[in-house]
Structure 1
Amino acid sequence: MSIVKRVVVAAPLIALFALVQSPAPVLASDGGGDGGGSGASYGLSNSTTRSVVKILSRGGDRCAEQPKVYRFDCYRWVYRRAANKLVGNGAYSEAQEALEQVERRLEAVVAQNRDTTQPNRRRALETYTPVKPASVPRVKREAVRAMAQAETVLLRSAPNKQEHYARIAQAVNSNKVLLRSALLPGGMIRFANRLITGFLRQI
């Protein structure tokens, strides 16, 4: 067999071998799954949304247990951690900005009303700055307003993002409601909620 004929016969086999050996194409996630495993998860995903909601919910509960003068800076840390979870993920860019806006507003109002007569309060790697007791109502109004605005932004998201953004908005709303109730005189709503919860657990 001539060299030319050998090349003609071998060419299809070489092409087939190259096709088999080449890696499968990587397809972008459609956003409907739980996101990636070991690496960063990009696009809308249940795992990312759940993670942000968990940070906001559990963080809000812990902040509610802080003395009221430290509570607002505690929330600032919560919103920082939640926003950081979305860094680099364009699908959550509006959510990240909404959470960062809450963080910035809390940082500003805490700095403006800082109580220099009391020490900072440490929790793990976080440090909470106290506000003046007399400033608590003013700071609370600003915090609630910031959370309400973030909630509005999240609920006005594009249709393809509404399912995930609405879940984050619900967690922000829970923080807002908890913050309001925790600062009522005597904490009556929180006390009532605990009584009801304890009663339901016994049923």
Structure 2
Amino acid sequence: MRFSLSILAMVTCLAATSVSAGERGGDSSSGDANSANTVNTRTTTELVRQITRDMQECFQLFEAYRFDCYHRAFKFAAVKVKGSIDYQPAYEALRHAENRINAAVQANLDPGAKKIRKGFQRFSAVKPAAVAAVKQETVRALEEAQTILLRSPAPHQKPHFQKIAAVIDSNKVLIRSALRAPHLLLRRLALGFWADRFG
């Protein structure tokens, strides 16, 4: 009887080890978003869509309020991949963008402007005279985030980080063009909305 129980325990341990190895192996480009801390298509796709959606919401605000919105968009994006080993460089890139934009916002807050509410969030405005400078700082923050993402990732990370870097780049272009050509910004936002919804 004792011998039989020992055999059963050994079989159970071997099976558990086999399942664990199977979870960490296999195709890391697909699977559950929360599995095994590995990069996967589902998490990357959801992250890209989240950044796109949140940034589109920011572009609908008056420009002085957008920067506070931008930093929160990257904050929420970073939370999505927090704790994942494979997404750690992406987490660091998103946090870098969040922190640098927020620092620029806090240094240039407009004390005379009331906060505005959109959904469940409230956003602060920067001083009108500081908009251009904060905008430049935001662009630099996004450029640095792209550099972090594209800095020699492992082969299995590369296609995922390229997608994240690409969505950051597209929003950087929109931020740059927001004042120069408002009608082009609206057109790009509309195209992005339809692509996200029906693509």
1:188 counterpart residue number? 183
Question: Which shifted more, 161-170 or 49-58?
Answer: 49-58
Is residue 49–residue 164 contact of structure 1 (8 Å, CA) maintained in 2?
yes
Structure-2 separation of matches of 1:61 and 1:91: 27
| Residue among 31, 34, 40 paired with 1:45 | 40
Cα displacement (A) at 1:115: 0.7
Task: Percent identity, please.
Answer: 32
Q: 8 Å contact 1:32–1:45 — kept in the other structure?
A: yes
Cα root mean square deviation, aligned: 2.6
- Quote the residue 2:143 is aligned against: 148
List, as ranges, runs of 4+ consecutive aligned residues in structure 1 with deviation greater than 6 Å. Answer: 194-197
Match of 1:108 among 91, 103, 106: 103
Unaligned runs of 5+ in 1: 1-6, 198-203
Q: Greater shift after overlay, 68-77 or 153-162? A: 153-162
Which amino acid is the alignment partner of residue 61 of structure 2? Q
Unaligned runs of 5+ in 2: 193-199
- The answer as to whether partners of 1:181 and 1:188 remain within 8 angstroms in 2 is no
C-alpha deviation, 1:191, in angstroms: 4.5
1:40: Cα distance to partner?
5.5
SS in structure 1 opposite 2:87?
A: helix
TM-score (norm 2): 0.81
TM-score, length-scaled by structure 1: 0.80
Alignment pair present for 1:78 and 2:73: yes
- Write out aligned runs for 1:19-34 (5 A): 19-22=10-13, 23-25=15-17, 26-27=20-21, 28-30=24-26, 32-34=28-30
- Structure 2 counterpart of 1:51, one-letter code: E
Matches within 5 A, 1:1-203: 11=3, 17-22=8-13, 23-25=15-17, 26-27=20-21, 28-30=24-26, 32-36=28-32, 42-160=37-155, 161-184=157-180, 187-191=182-186, 193=188
